[in-house]
Amino acid sequence: MTLLGYALHMLLELRFVGIVFLMFLGLVLYAFIWQRLIKGAKIAVVYANKSSSILWGQLAAIVLFREHVAKGSLLGLFVIIVGIILVNTSGVKGE
């Protein structure tokens, strides 16, 4: 058995440790991607798009977990989307 196979076997045996490991791995991946985005693009545009994670969270709640979303949450989500669109299109004319 290889070292990787042994490590995967141990992660499956200890589910809590495996979940923590996957969460840590996801955080490292997120940090790596975030640093690459900041390095290669305008910070205002990247940071405005970061708030779109709220949209993905709401979509996951509706589609995956069949949750009910309040009207106030939908209104807030709409305001965030409009803000993202405004930030992303504000510099188009001047460039």
| Mean pLDDT for back-to-back runs of 10 residues, the chain (95 residues) | 74 69 85 84 75 82 87 89 81 55
Number of domains in the chain: 2
**Are 31 and 8 in a shared domain?**
yes
Give the Å distances, CA to CA, from 54 to 16, 50, 51, 80: 27, 9, 6, 9
Q: Which domain holds residue 91?
A: 42-95
**Are 36 and 46 in a shared domain?**
no
66 dihedral zone (left: phi>0; alpha: psi -120 to 50; beta): left
**Are 95 and 50 in a shared domain?**
yes
**Are 13 and 58 in a shared domain?**
no
**Are 1 and 13 in a shared domain?**
yes
What is the tens place of the pLDDT at every residue in 32-45?
988 887 888 777 77
